[in-house]
Amino acid sequence: MDNLTNNINNFPQGHPVRVYLEENILIKQLFEELFKVDINTDFQLFFNLFNQLSQVEKHFARKENQLFPYLEKYGWTSPSQGMWAFHDQIRAEIKSVRKKIEDKDFENILNSLIVVFNSLSQLMSVEENRLLPNAMNLLNEDDWKEMYEGDCEIGWMFATPPVRYPEIKEEEYIHPSLDTKKRKLSFSLEDRTHFDEGYLTMEQVNFIFKFLPVDITYVDENDKVVFYNRGDERVFPRSAGIIGREVKFCHPPKSVDQVLKILEEFKAGRQDTAEFWIQFKGKFIHIRYFAIRDEERNYKGVIEMSQDVSEIRALEGEKRLLDWN
């Protein structure tokens, strides 16, 4: 089979496969420019080109979160494991180059960059000779058309986004909230509710709120408490008697004025967040308030979130391995 890059014009502008190939062309061009630069005399140009190359993270992320799920739907799961692991290896190699650049370790930057070049060259070869040709055989036209919104959220390596595929006329636009097109999923939608992204049963929703390591309280636009989560280790105690109660009666008198001030500013649209941190029973507690607004920016209430961040504040360095033993 001919290398896909040689036949790039066989794909319409904006088609996901064409965009992947165009990014590969850009990667090769960036390496050509990088290897021509004398880092000792034009360090800033070298750094700028390297930063452009580092945008390959978006190339990886689209594959991992967009392309791979479609391949899994058709039973091809190896890219989600083997190629994703290769992405992580290259990420680590790019991080190593960046560290040497930041340290101005000129003697070793080029050797580390050559490692990245070799890895990306191998990856692009696999993409163009195996991954993308197989994807073209597996995915149908509707699959490719569905990718644009998600791709757009992640982004591309280019300064200017590629054209939308497929190109749609203005009158054909359907707002995501009105998009009722049924897509083939690997699980039943029975007893599930459609959220902004994904479908959950009420049991699963309850599990999420129960196991989140934060206290959540929702106060509606009428200042009535309508919800709180019942986690096992809440920072501040709550009981069912709070439901339906005015929020001003749910706080100690000394803090009521602050709560009312937050509500006033949120309702007026002058503020959207407020945060505090306090020492409480030997713990460091982070408290945040978020104004909730609908698509028209109408005030719909406030979420109060409290979290014990004592252990988080104490973290240092990195932890990349399990230590369950």
Q: Which residues pair with 9 in a beta bridge?
A: none
Q: What is the pLDDT of residues 222-275, one digit of tens each?
A: 999 999 998 777 887 777 778 888 888 777 777 788 889 999 999 999 999 999
Look at residue 1 in the predicted model and tell me its pLDDT: 40
Residues sharing a CB contact under 8 Å with residue 261, sequence separation 6 or more, in sequence order: none
- How far, in Å, CA of 232 to CA of 222, rounded? 29
Sign of CA dihedral 113, 114, 118, 124: positive
CB contact at 8 A, 200 and 194: no
Q: How many residues does the chain have?
A: 325
- How far, in Å, CA of 231 to CA of 242, rounded? 16
Look at residue 103 in the predicted model and tell me its pLDDT: 92
Sign of CA dihedral 248, 249, 251, 257: positive
Look at residue 310 in the predicted model and tell me its pLDDT: 93
Specify the CATH class of 4-154 in words. Answer: mainly alpha
Q: Residue 219 — φ and ψ, nearest 5°?
A: -110, 125
* Beta-sheet strand order (sheet of 273-280): 225-228, 215-219, 299-308, 283-293, 273-280
Q: What is the pLDDT of residues 272-297, one digit of tens each?
A: 999 999 998 889 999 999 999 999 99
DSSP conformation class of 131: I
- How far, in Å, CA of 173 to CA of 201, rounded? 30
Look at residue 178 in the predicted model and tell me its pLDDT: 58
pTM of the entire predicted model: 0.64
Domain boundary assignment for the chain: 4-154, 201-314
CB contact at 8 A, 50 and 101: yes
CB contact at 8 A, 149 and 176: yes
Tally of CB atoms within 10 A around 50: 20
Which residue shows structure tokens 């998600």? 150
Secondary structure of 257-321 in the HEC alphabet?
A: HHHHHHHHHHHHCCCCEEEEEEEECCEEEEEEEEEEECCCCCEEEEEEEEEECHHHHCCCCCCCC
Cis amide bond preceding 166, omega within 30: yes
Alpha-helical regions (H) of the chain: 16-36, 43-53, 56-62, 68-73, 78, 84-102, 106-126, 132-138, 141-146, 148-154, 202-211, 253-268, 310-313
Q: Any idea which architecture 201-314 has in CATH? A: 2-Layer Sandwich (3.30)
**Dihedral, 195, 199, 205, 207 alpha carbons, nearest 10:** -150
For the chain, list residues with pLDDT below 70.
1-3, 168-184
Nearest 5°: the CA angle 212, 205, 194 is 135
Look at residue 39 in the predicted model and tell me its pLDDT: 92
The amino acid at residue 236 is F
Look at residue 175 in the predicted model and tell me its pLDDT: 58
Look up residue 292 and give its two tokens: 């909730």
